[in-house]
Chain A
Amino acid sequence: MRSRLAGTLVPAVGVILVLAMPFMTTDRYLFKVLTFVGLNLIVVAGLALLFGYAGQISLGHAAFFGIGAYTAGYLTGEAAVPWLVATLVAALLAALVGFVLSLPMLRLKGHYLAMATLGFSEIMTVLFIEARGITGGNDGLRGIPYPSLGSFKIDTPSGVYLLVWITAIVVLVLAANLVRTRPGRALRALHGAELGAQACGIDTGRLRVQVFALSAGLAGLAGALYASAVGFISPTTFSLEFSVLLVAMVVLGGTGSVTGPVVACVLLTLLPYVDALVPGLPREVVSFLQDWEADIAGIVMILVLLFAPGGVAGLLRRSPRVGEAE
């Protein structure tokens, strides 16, 4: 009983805190940093389903993020398509690419699947650089307009922050509920034992395609929001480095949970921006964290795999549940 109460109370307090933020501070930089956290949360929600429940590793989600960003950036900036339409098209296109990509990958598992997504990510990086007519090549796309609905324009850091975080909360609630539904239980079964899941009458192939497309679509949605929030995109943002960071968040977060990856995502995203949260922090500390961001993430990941394979989720869990391999 107590744990159920805590289970609803903690997220509720979190949501209220998030929404009350614009009334508590006017620090533009803080909003910008928190916007990045919200964007990563949207991607991580999809990856948590893919990795934590379906047990599939993707090293290509930065590419889906990029597809969303370039689609939205090109449509709103160059083609003057309304923002909402462009954002939806961007998310759908990323999901479609994810769907098509996952069809041949159905036969792949484990390392082989990871290699295939890695290959896809590299192909997309080249495409982002070479498709200059759309992406602007190495110089990137400039002047992407702020989000707007009709004549209402969201052009303040706090407005963009709210837009991103409301989207992230909706996505997270849906993801958390999805795992309690029939497809969600099927996902867990898939993670536990694919043969067993098949024996229970689950169409595992179809399920894997669906969850891959869903996570790709969420990455595309986050990319589209990123493009309009930042106003400038260029290929290096969508490189393998970002994909690996996303996987680190999910691994650090732990499997079979949405809360764990959320906590890990917030921590890892804030790492290079601690100066936004801790005023008066010496600049040397900040620049050290920025320089060593990848190293710290890597060390933490190794330590987690060695000592706490359950990740944040494992540490949060009060007692080991049945069905969780520890």
Chain B
Amino acid sequence: MKTRRRVVAAALVAMLMVTTVAGCSSKGSSGSATGEGSAEPYRIGAIVSLSGSYAGLGTPEQKAIEMEMKRINDAGGINGRQVEVIFEDDATDPAKAQAAVARLLEQENVIAVIGATGTSQTMALRDDIDRAGVPQVSMAGGSVITAEFDKNVFQTPWPNRIVVPFTLKALKDRGLVNVAVISDTGGYGKDGHDLILKDADTAGVKIVADETFNPGDTDMTAQLTKIKAASPDVVLMWNAGKEAAIVAKNIKQLGMSVPLVGSPGNGRREFIEGAGDAAEGFRFAAGKILVPEAYGEGTPAFEVAQKFIADYSFAYGVAPDIFAGHAFDAFLVVTDALKRVEGEATPASLRDAIEATDGLVGVGGTFAYSPEDHNGLTEEELVFYRVDGATWVLDK
């Protein structure tokens, strides 16, 4: 009896170890890479959504950062030191993002955190970031990230407070004044929703319906039926998750002929692939990277974007989307500041250097941070797009 139990216990332990070791080489979502270098590398943490609703955003973000890290390390690193980026997947879950940042700060001792992909996830890091005093550069577009000002937190995308008025103005210019709003209840959707309601009067449009859905929902027919009854000129959708494709498909299924307009969060290939036909004619505002001619040929921004697009396309066989651009910019902001730090780089000195960023040309725009403004972008960086033939064209 006793011997049998021992055998079983030993077998259990052995089995656990075998599965552990065997799997090591096959699966592993997060990882890091370093080149050779005599000095200790700079360790930067990155929290991205590689699974869940924002997987389509986080994956290109990780690719862009890995590509740039390799480029910098191959060229000898920064100040003679290599750069090591440690990735964590937050699974589009604020709680997981918070657990990840605790690991990065306390176990990996990173000097900066890039992330997160989403607005809720970005905000979930704040308490830990503040306690540790480590600079954070977010790749999410919620206004709240920099509007609820924090001296440690910076942001690379165009926030909703710039994009929403720009989008509403574009609707008005096109004669689409009766607007039905559908937004998700997550951080980014809610942030945009509140700004749409606030800015509608100023922009001269009328909100005729206001519906919401939760991240992870799989059918929006009920909300869209109500919207249909309000007979709007346009449906304005504000979210960044994969649910956007379902909204587009549901609109088509309900036989609604009303145009659909979205947010920069929908400027992702998965949306076009997921919605198929229903994506045709979909319009949204975003930065210029999707159609680089919009930068104006020969401008410094055009050169930076052209090189990024060429590198990324060469490395991954597909052109970068706006999220790859946000990640490129976030990594650029951190590495540019690292170059300017005098003496030994600490989280505090790096934060000061990031705040002193001025005239840094990235993909999403020209970054100039100040003690009052940790976003520093304007609506000059935005253009209006339309999906035409399963690709993006400028909507003049």
A138's closest neighbor in chain B, by CB?
B186
- Chain A residues contacting B215 (CB-CB under 8 Å) are 138
Residue in contact with B11 in the complex, picked from A143, A233, A299, A307, CB distance below 8 Å: A307
Interface residues of B in 11-41 (CB under 8 A from A): 11-12, 15-16, 19-20, 23-25, 27-32
- Chain A residues contacting B187 (CB-CB under 8 Å) are 138-139
State whether A285 touches B93 (Cβ < 8 A). Answer: no
Interface residues of A in 77-123 (CB under 8 A from B): none
State whether A139 touches B190 (Cβ < 8 A). Answer: yes
Number of interface residues of A (CB under 8 A): 41
In the complex, what distance in Å separates the CA atom of A303 from the CA atom of B7?
13
State whether B107 touches A276 (Cβ < 8 A). Answer: yes
State whether A236 touches B214 (Cβ < 8 A). Answer: no
- Chain A residues contacting B123 (CB-CB under 8 Å) are 139, 142
- Chain-B contact segment, one of A5-13, A164-172, A186-194, A289-297: A289-297
Known: A29-B102, A32-B106, A138-B215. A288 touches B94 (CB 8 A): no
Does B230 reach chain A (CB closer than 8 Å)? no
Residue in contact with A288 in the complex, picked from B15, B27, B128, B190, CB distance below 8 Å: B27
State whether B106 touches A28 (Cβ < 8 A). Answer: yes
Interface residues of B in 75-116 (CB under 8 A from A): 86, 93-96, 98, 102-103, 106-107
In the complex, what distance in Å separates the CA atom of A275 from the CA atom of B25?
18
Does A140 reach chain B (CB closer than 8 Å)? yes
Q: Tell me the minimal C-beta distance from A282 to chain B in angstroms.
A: 8
Known: A138-B215, A308-B5, A315-B9. A231 touches B127 (CB 8 A): yes
- Chain A residues contacting B126 (CB-CB under 8 Å) are 142
Does B185 reach chain A (CB closer than 8 Å)? yes
Kindly name the residue among A129, A233, A287, A304 whose own CB sees the greatest number of chain B CB atoms within 10 A. Answer: A287
- Chain B residues contacting A138 (CB-CB under 8 Å) are 94, 120, 185-187, 214-215
Does B124 reach chain A (CB closer than 8 Å)? yes
Known: A29-B107, A299-B15, A314-B5. A232 touches B27 (CB 8 A): no
Known: A139-B190, A142-B124, A292-B23. A300 touches B185 (CB 8 A): no
Does B8 reach chain A (CB closer than 8 Å)? yes
Residue in contact with A137 in the complex, picked from B27, B128, B185, CB distance below 8 Å: B185
State whether B124 touches A140 (Cβ < 8 A). Answer: yes
Does B1 reach chain A (CB closer than 8 Å)? yes
State whether B29 touches A140 (Cβ < 8 A). Answer: no
- Chain B residues contacting A157 (CB-CB under 8 Å) are 106
- Chain A residues contacting B94 (CB-CB under 8 Å) are 138-140, 232, 234, 236
State whether A307 touches B8 (Cβ < 8 A). Answer: yes
State whether B95 touches A303 (Cβ < 8 A). Answer: no
Residue in contact with B95 in the complex, picked from A28, A234, A296, CB distance below 8 Å: A234
Query: Chain A 4-39 against B: per-residue CB contact (8 Å), 1 yes, 0 no?
Result: 000000000000000000000001110010000000
Does A179 reach chain B (CB closer than 8 Å)? no
Does A237 reach chain B (CB closer than 8 Å)? yes
Q: Tell me the minimal C-beta distance from B91 to chain A in angstroms.
A: 8
- Chain A residues contacting B107 (CB-CB under 8 Å) are 29, 275-276
Kindly name the residue among A132, A282, A300, A307 whose own CB sees the greatest number of chain B CB atoms within 10 A. Answer: A307
Residue in contact with B120 in the complex, picked from A139, A276, A283, A288, CB distance below 8 Å: A139
Does A230 reach chain B (CB closer than 8 Å)? yes
In the complex, what distance in Å separates the CA atom of A246 from the CA atom of B9?
21
- Chain A residues contacting B106 (CB-CB under 8 Å) are 27-29, 32, 157
Interface residues of B in 151-188 (CB under 8 A from A): 185-187
- Chain B residues contacting A304 (CB-CB under 8 Å) are 12
Known: A138-B215, A232-B95, A233-B95. A285 touches B1 (CB 8 A): no
State whether A230 touches B186 (Cβ < 8 A). Answer: no
State whether A232 touches B98 (Cβ < 8 A). Answer: yes
Query: Chain A 140-158 against B: per-residue CB contact (8 Å), 1 yes, 0 no?
Result: 1011000000000000010
Q: Tell me the minimal C-beta distance from A9 to chain B in angstroms.
A: 22
In the complex, what distance in Å separates the CA atom of A58 from the CA atom of B11?
29
Q: Tell me the minimal C-beta distance from A52 to chain B in angstroms.
A: 19
State whether A320 touches B1 (Cβ < 8 A). Answer: yes
- Chain B residues contacting A285 (CB-CB under 8 Å) are 20, 24
- Chain A residues contacting B32 (CB-CB under 8 Å) are 283
In the complex, what distance in Å separates the CA atom of A304 from the CA atom of B8?
9
B215's closest neighbor in chain A, by CB?
A138
State whether B214 touches A129 (Cβ < 8 A). Answer: yes
- Chain B residues contacting A230 (CB-CB under 8 Å) are 98
Known: A296-B19, A307-B8, A315-B9. A142 touches B27 (CB 8 A): no
| A-B CB contact pairs (8 Å), 11 listed | A29-B102, A139-B186, A140-B124, A231-B128, A232-B95, A234-B120, A275-B107, A307-B12, A308-B5, A314-B5, A315-B8
9 A-B pairs closest in CB distance: A29-B106, A234-B94, A29-B107, A237-B95, A139-B120, A28-B106, A307-B8, A231-B127, A287-B30
Chain A residues with a Cβ under 8 A of chain B: 27-29, 32, 129, 132, 137-140, 142-143, 157, 230-234, 236-237, 275-276, 282-285, 287-289, 291-292, 296, 299-300, 303-304, 307-308, 314-315, 320
> Told that A29-B106, A139-B94, A157-B106 touch, could you supply 10 new A-B pairs with CB distance under 8 A?
A28-B106, A137-B190, A138-B94, A139-B124, A234-B93, A236-B95, A283-B86, A299-B16, A304-B12, A307-B11
